[in-house]
Structure 1
Amino acid sequence: MFASCADPSQLEGLSWLLCYLTTGKHLSIYVSVGTVLLLLAITAPVALAFGFGGAMAARSHVAPLAWFGKGYIAIVRGVPDIAFFLFFVIALDQFFEWLRHEWKCPDWDQPIRQGNDFVVCAQAKLPLSTAPQWVHETYGFSLAVLTFAIVFGAFAANVLYGAMRAVPRAQMETAEAYGMSRRQCFWRILVPQMWVYALPGLSNLWMVLIKATPLLFLLGVEDIVYWARELGGSKTTRFTDYPHGDWRVWYFGALLVFYLLFTRLSELALGRIMARLTRGQATMGGEAQRKAG
């Protein structure tokens, strides 16, 4: 990357290390850190939206909708994450390709299922083989976001469903006595107060989501754990200008520090949000703030 790094054999000490850490390969691990942060930034609100929708469906008075919401929560929570990630992404990808196949190739006369192969016309492939590399990477990342959102949305739905039930019924009855409709009671009374009860569970879910990011490798996305393993392995002069032994312990140690710092910052931010939400609320946190004041 730097002109002084042109001849690695002439470098020693910190100069060698600086040039080593700025090679093109190492830029990949720095980019993968941004990929993980972007995944978290997108997945968290999408999963929360899935969870809110699932919780609303589970408490619905319409039986089929309630069955759907409770079934979504039970099924996704009951399946091991790694099995869900391995199966669901393949099924989702094939479902999208099947929809495109039915639309773009209505005259196709061959079976789509041919033994263990899933065969669609070339126009229906996602993404197209002629598409640039960034399209393939964006498509894989989008599938990862959707999969993470569905999985963690089920856990969020369970947390929000319990939080909705924790809001005192007397407050809902009081709102109804003042002439509020059921929708007004839900949005003006129930939803603002449920977050106080939901935040501890959502905080734990956020921490689990952070720890689950290494599953990106199962979805074909090169994450920081993948690059730590690749870059930390033994390298000889036959394959690289910067030979070294097995340095995986140092790479994974750096990942340990990264995740610990990130989770610590998350704890501090969530603590401030919790203090804000419990202010003036009739909860243990709100009562503690009132006594401290």
Structure 2
Amino acid sequence: MFQFCSDPDSLEGLSWLACYLTTGKHMLFYQSFFVVLALLAITAPIALAFGFAGAMAARARFAPLRWIGTAYTSMVRGVPDIVFFLFVPFGMDQGIEWLRHKVKCPDWSEPIRQGNDFLVCAEAKMPLNSAPQFWHEAYGFALAVVAFAIVFGAFAANVLSGAMRAVPHGQIETAEAYGMSHRQAFWRVMVPQMWLFALPGLSNLWMILIKATPLLFLLGVEDIVYWARELGASKTSQYSYPHPDWRLWYFLGLLVFYLSFTRVSEVVLDRITRRLSHGQATALGEEMRKAG
């Protein structure tokens, strides 16, 4: 980045450090923080949508739909996260390639499964081998988003289902007595009030989601954990900027990042909770009423 960085061997002190921290790989390291933030920004609303759909399905009057909602929340929550994160992306990837293989290579005669190998024709690969690196990374990121959304959607469904049950049933009966249909009472009375009861559980899920983002490293996405390990490992004299093992300092930087981010999240969520509790018949709402 700097002109004086053209000859790393002649650098020392702060000049060496400035050039070292502005190399191309370090720029990718800095960009990987935005990858984590993008994962959170995209996954959170999708997981919430999965959770809301699962909670509604678990409350459905149609029995098969209720069984599906209950099975989703129970089975997904019962599987270890790391197993699910490893299974879903690879399973989805192979499923997509299998479908593309059937369409694009109908004359393929050899079996797709050959021992531990999964072989499809080159045209069925996702993405294609000739595709730019950006599409390979975007495809892996998309699979990661789906895996995170399915897992945390199951937990969100359990939280939202409990929040729906926490809304006094007498309010639903009163709304129906005033002429509202069951659907209208659900959307106009229950849904607006349930968020206050769901917010503590959803706040915990948000914190867990933040802590789960390093699992991107296991899915092959070049996130902050990948680059911290790559850049922090010892570099010999064959590299432009040789240094001993600095992984401790890189991972210490990640620790500071995650602690700072969770602290900011706590402050924001606390303000949202207090805002929603204003005027509500809850302990916090009563405390605010007395203080006012």
With the shorter chain as reference, the TM-score category is over 0.9
Tell me which residue corresponds to 1:133: 133
- Normalising to structure 2: TM-score of the pair? 0.97
Task: Note the alpha carbon deviations across 1:172-192, whole angstroms, 9 max, x for none.
Answer: 111011010111111100100
Cα distance between partner residues in 1 of 2:110 and 2:182: 53
Alignment size in residue pairs: 292
Tell me which residue corresponds to 2:287: 288
Tell me which residue corresponds to 2:260: 261
Cα distance between partner residues in 2 of 1:259 and 1:289: 31
- Are residue 60 (structure 1) and residue 60 (structure 2) matched? yes
User: Which deviates further from its counterpart, 3-12 or 260-269?
Assistant: 3-12
Tell me which residue corresponds to 2:190: 190
List alignment gaps of at least 5 residues for structure 2.
Answer: none
State the 1:237 CA deviation. Answer: 1.1
Tell me which residue corresponds to 1:6: 6
Over 4 Å off, 4+ runs? none
Task: Note the alpha carbon deviations across 1:111-138, whole angstroms, 9 max, x for none.
Answer: 3222222222322211111111111111
User: Which deviates further from its counterpart, 200-209 or 105-114?
Assistant: 105-114
Task: Note the alpha carbon deviations across 1:86-127, whole angstroms, 9 max, x for none.
Answer: 122111111111222233233434332222222223222111
Tell me which residue corresponds to 1:159: 159
Tell me which residue corresponds to 1:30: 30
Task: Note the alpha carbon deviations across 1:251-276, whole angstroms, 9 max, x for none.
Answer: 11111111111000000110111111
State the 1:282 CA deviation. Answer: 1.1
- Normalising to structure 1: TM-score of the pair? 0.97
- What amino acid sits opposite 1:138 in the alignment? A
- What amino acid sits opposite 1:227 in the alignment? W
Cα distance between partner residues in 2 of 1:130 and 1:20: 32
Tell me which residue corresponds to 2:112: 112
Identity of aligned residues (%): 72
Tell me which residue corresponds to 2:248: 249
Cα distance between partner residues in 1 of 2:171 and 2:195: 15
Tell me which residue corresponds to 1:231: 231
Alignment partner of 2:172: what SS?
A: helix
Task: Note the alpha carbon deviations across 1:183-227, whole angstroms, 9 max, x for none.
Answer: 111110010000001000000000000000110011110110111
